[in-house]
Amino acid sequence: MAYNIYLEIADVSDGANTEDSIGQFAVAEHEDEITVLEFRWGMRIPTDGLSGQITGNRRHEHLTVKKHLDKSSPLLAQALTNPTPLELTFSFYRPGDIGGEGDPEPFYEIVLEGAKVVAVEVTSPDILDPANDNMPVFEHVTFAYNKVTASHEPGGTEFVDTWTGE
């Protein structure tokens, strides 16, 4: 079972997860959050290929999500054309029990501060391919950011990194 991820962005995600916004894919308990269908993020530190010695400073990659084309889509496009710092909160949910049958419970959170939309790409499946029947239109949104906080709530561990001089 895949874990669920929801994204909250103030004044952007309000009503994004409702039937009016995404139809049959709506999740009532998360109506003011964006359902994240795919999540890609990473960090790197340059190293020498032979010695393994670190040769530079850490680098945060942009964070990209795949989501439904929804109520938040025009607002995210506007945030790209008129860059405004955003705060993003990603909430990760896992099955509530070992067998995977329990109610999902939040267990991990990533907060991005000073985030800006740096790319938006809308993708429609090939409508001539019968395998794509009933496939919705998706959107990939990419964010850059100044500060990240990641926390594993049950374990009480946290990671914070900032590069804004704070």
Question: Taking the alpha carbons of 61, 62, 68, 72 in that order, is the dihedral positive or negative?
Answer: positive
In a domain? residue 52: no
In a domain? residue 114: yes
In a domain? residue 108: yes
Domain limits for position 151: 4-41+57-162
In a domain? residue 65: yes
In a domain? residue 49: no
In a domain? residue 124: yes
Q: Token digits for 44?
A: 């790197």
Instruction: Give residue 38's identity as a one-letter amino acid code.
Output: E
> For residues 109 and 89, what is the distance between their CA atoms, to the nearest angstrom?
7
Q: How many domains does the chain have?
A: 1
The residues, ordered by sequence, that sit 6+ positions from 71 with a Cβ below 8 Å of its Cβ are 14, 15, 16, 18, 20, 21
pLDDT in tens, the chain (166 residues): 578 999 999 999 999 999 999 888 889 899 999 999 999 999 999 999 999 999 999 889 999 999 999 999 999 999 999 999 999 999 999 987 776 677 889 999 999 999 999 999 999 888 888 887 878 889 999 999 999 999 999 999 999 999 764 4
Flag whether the pTM goes above 0.75: yes
CA neighbor of 60 nearest in space, from 6, 4, 125, 114: 114
What is the pLDDT at residue 166? Answer: 44
> For residues 162 and 107, what is the distance between their CA atoms, to the nearest angstrom?
23
pLDDT digit string, tens, across residues 56-76: 998 899 999 999 999 999 999
Domain of residue 92, CATH code: 2.30.110.20
In a domain? residue 51: no
In a domain? residue 157: yes
